[in-house]
Amino acid sequence: MHNPTREIARPHYQSHSHLHSQKWQQMINWINQFEEPSCLLVNQVSDLSTGVALCHIVANITCSEQERQELTELINPIKPLQNVGLALEVLKASDCSLAGWVKTIRAEDVLRDNGLLFELLEALREV
């Protein structure tokens, strides 16, 4: 027998899922605009899990060329917690408008919660 309730519920779920993936795709397109290889290689949310692209984004937004080079030397692709922590520390030390908000964020939370990662990236995009 045909179940009309199922048909009504399913499109709602698909549209929410589609909206979510659309927002992430727009964010990924923004990330890909940075000339860093780690940013150019981001194709999906999981590509952000090492924290390397986040470090490069933060460095490009808040650091001088020399500071970017120094930060790049500290990035370790196999230590995501260290990388995200480094990105947050750079933001906290910067004079950018996010410095205060970032003080309440922990690297573990950014790595565990894609929603928080999205909020952080969205805030960086507006700087």
What are the extents of the domains in the chain? 4-125
Alpha-carbon gap, residue 59 to 42, rounded angstroms: 17
Residue 113 has pLDDT above 60, yes or no: yes
Burial of 94 (0-12, 13-18, 19+ CB in 10 A): middle
The pTM (predicted TM-score) of the whole model is 0.82
User: Can you give the pLDDT at residue 17?
Assistant: 61
Amino acid letter, 71? L
The pLDDT > 70 percentage for the chain reads 85
User: Can you give the pLDDT at residue 46?
Assistant: 94
Whether the CA torsion 86, 95, 118, 112 is positive or negative: it is positive
Tell me the backbone φ, ψ of residue 108, rounded to 5 degrees.
-60, -40
Q: Please indicate whether residue 2 or residue 85 has the higher confidence score (pLDDT).
A: 85
Residue 42 has pLDDT above 60, yes or no: yes
Which two tokens mark 71?
Answer: 């930060």
Residue 54 has pLDDT above 90, yes or no: yes
User: Confidence band (pLDDT; 50, 70, 90) for 83?
Assistant: very high
Q: What average pLDDT does the segment 21-50 reach?
A: 95
Q: What average pLDDT does the segment 107-115 reach?
A: 96
Average pLDDT over the chain reads 86
